Structure 1
Amino acid sequence: MMNHNPEALHRSLYASASRTLSYGKNKDDPAWRSRVLDKLKELTGLPEKPSTPPEVQIEWRKAQKEFDETRFCFESEPGYWVPCHLLVPSDAVRPPVVICLQGHSSGMHISLGRPKSDIDREHIAGGRDFGLQAIKEGYAALVLEQRAFGECHGFDPINEEAVGAGRCHVAAMQAMLIGRTLLGERVLDVQRAIDALEQFPEVDAQRIACMGNSGGGTATYYAACLEPRIQIAMPSCSVCSYEGSIYAMYHCQCNFIPHALKYFEMQDLAVLIAPRKLVVVAGRQDDIFPLAPTLRTFETIEQIYSRAGCPQNCRFVTGDGGHRFYPDEAWPVFRALAQWD
């Protein structure tokens, strides 16, 4: 029977993809890590980080019941400003900071527990009010808007009326045409956010974590790969082999890195995080980052951490549900690994 389905052809070609920088082919090569790092920077089109501290403009400060809140923007790269909220527990003295990355949604206000729609309320009920959770754990929270989400969305005719989705298509395609990726730009924003935190003495900018769910978890994982100042990362419903998720089904364009499978699978990139701490969170019924390939992905991550001499620094957490975050299961593991208390 003749095949007329290009997607079926592509799936059959996965097995023959070279993946020349995979863990299996390079685990005994001492130069492997540096080659993976260079290639990931190249493929994501990671913009060069400006050498000067970002300009920060504080819009307002307000004392809330349990924390002090500062709304500010910083210039990530010339001509592009990122809106943020910094939450600091009222009784804390220079606490560590958890960078909170919202996934595909109407914006970062969900991390603040401030819904604007019924869909937002569903996200919050699904454990995505990350900023408030970090405060309850005694950490400061930096809630920032990712590119193409919330306040940072551009024009996208595909999702123009979608209240609960990001508007990534046009921005992602434009980025690829100029040799970048939207994912690489999001990583740059995290890097510059850490630079900006140096201007806030009320927090400890030397103790940094990053977390997020779905698209926020994806950005968390790649930011941890490319930014060594992130000491612990907690991506949720996002770390899975390309074969089992991104390559296998529909996903937003912002998830894709051109030519990645010529060099590596997603799990191979953990060599760039180890020995730093990593908590991978998954849902047993997640239909777009399925549990079975996620578990196989984590097996390779465990091997990478074991060869780095720190198997205790990566942990896997599962929740009994779908594509959401699981605070009751995840935060105790995070707290034990962070050892900041």
Structure 2
Amino acid sequence: MLSRYTSFQHLLQVYDNISARYAFKAEYLSQYRLWKKKLRVKLADITGLNQMTFSELKPEVLETEKMDDYKRIKMIIQTEPAVLMPFYILLPDDLQEGEERAAVIAPHGHDSGGKYAVAGRSDIPGVNRVIEKYNYDYGIQLVKKGYIVFCPDARGFGERREIIKQGDEGEDILSSSCHELNNLAIALGQSLTGMFVWDLMRLLDYAETCQYVDSTRIAVCGFSGGGLQALWLAVMDQRVKAAIVAGYFHGFKDTIFQSNMCSCNFVPQLWRYCDMGDLGAMIAPRPLMIKSGSKDKLNGNSGLANVYSQLEIVRSAYKLMNAEGNLYHHVFNGGHIWNGDRVDEFLKSAFS
């Protein structure tokens, strides 16, 4: 039998020696504001967000379909030169002409077919299975509560898969090319996370032009990898008035370092500067809901204890901002699935 000589324990020690240089430690509001400004600049740098190229959106309607109690519009916008993002807009049937409604941007995670699962495309083979498995159609759940919902494809997913992972037969549509894209991005001084956030910021730009969207009431809501996108968008864009991060809130060391190693999670040098709780702390005082399954293996080896350790960092920031009532942690009895309990209640409170 071959011996195994790994570097893992050494890298864990390296993590302890260099991590969280910009950890949240503020005791006064002035310190908090300075810390947030400084960390946001650093995050824009290491994600490559400040390298993205602005372009005209050039929105185009591709198709419109009337569903049972909502309308589904497929559109495409240009987020960078020659970089196109398709997305669905879900409009409630009771939306009146001239009315402005609260809107939710609903990014997806893995094993979703991109926007298809969130937008409830159970007619697509393979997508129907993951909708049932993960309760993945939260875009449909939200539009049925009266919200306007934007369901985009992230780069590397759905209709935006790169050549190496294209194909729509069987389960192929559920695959992604996030690994290949992040490798390319890192070699260019960028990151897939930066691309995700930039594209969602451009979608926000478009949403603000829609006559039926109340631009003062736009939230972001995502599960799993969609939770990653929701968290980062709320951190980097103050236009997001409320955020729901589901199935994606835990310490980096106990989870991403040791088990959840998908490329989507990796930003160059991120762990040198902050942990996930520090990212959450940057959202204060805006309403933030974190949803955790009690049996979700992606919480890490220590389970909910890993979540609570990061939540305390966030709670300290909200307490400093005298906004503890804007932070909600919903723990439900279940695994890695979307749980919609209390979401409508949270959004109504956030937008009131």
TM over 0.5: yes
Deviates most, 145-154 or 87-96: 87-96
Task: State the shift of 1:140 in Å.
Answer: 0.6
TM score, norm. by length of structure 2: 0.89
Partner of 1:23: 24
Q: How does 1:280-295 map to 2 (within 5 A)?
A: 280-290=290-300, 291-295=304-308
Deviations 1:95-150 (A, max 9, x none): 11111111012221111211323464233442210210111211010011011111
Partner of 1:239: 249
Partner of 1:298: 311
Structure 2 residue identity aligned to 1:132:
I
Across the aligned residues of Structure 1 and Structure 2, the Cα RMSD in angstroms comes to: 2.3
Partner of 2:108: 102
Q: What are structure 1's unaligned runs of at least 5 residues? A: none
Partner of 2:281: 271
Query: Of the candidates 174, 178, 181, which is equivalent to residue 164 of structure 1?
Result: 174
Partner of 2:349: 337
| Count of residue pairs the alignment pairs up | 337
Distance 2:315 2:247 in 1: 18
Q: How does 1:78-97 map to 2 (within 5 A)?
A: 78-92=81-95, 93-97=99-103
Partner of 2:70: 67
Helix, strand or coil at the partner of 1:242: coil
1:147 aligns with 2:145: no
Distance 1:157 1:143, change over 3 A: closer
Task: State the shift of 1:190 in Å.
Answer: 0.6
1:42 aligns with 2:45: yes
Structure 2 residue identity aligned to 1:229:
R
Distance 1:119 1:67, change over 3 A: closer
Partner of 2:141: 133
Distance 1:124 1:201, change over 3 A: farther
Distance 2:166 2:62 in 1: 32
TM score, norm. by length of structure 1: 0.92
Partner of 1:308: 321
Deviations 1:261-306 (A, max 9, x none): 2211111122321111110011111112232201211111111111
Partner of 1:205: 215
Helix, strand or coil at the partner of 1:221: helix
Distance 1:159 1:54, change over 3 A: closer
Task: State the shift of 1:43 in Å.
Answer: 1.1
Task: State the shift of 1:48 in Å.
Answer: 4.9
**Contact conserved, 1:210 with 1:220, CA < 8 A, in 2?**
yes
Distance 2:307 2:36 in 1: 22
Distance 1:53 1:339, change over 3 A: same
Deviations 1:142-187 (A, max 9, x none): 0110111111111346999755332211111001111110011010
Task: State the shift of 1:4 in Å.
Answer: 2.7
Identity among equivalent positions (%) equals: 25
Q: How does 1:194-233 map to 2 (within 5 A)?
A: 194-233=204-243
Distance 1:230 1:303, change over 3 A: same
**Contact conserved, 2:126 with 2:173, CA < 8 A, in 1?**
no
Structure 2 residue identity aligned to 1:96:
A
Distance 2:120 2:165 in 1: 28
Partner of 1:4: 5
Deviates most, 223-232 or 122-131: 122-131
Structure 1 residue identity aligned to 2:81:
P
Q: What are structure 2's unaligned runs of at least 5 residues? A: none
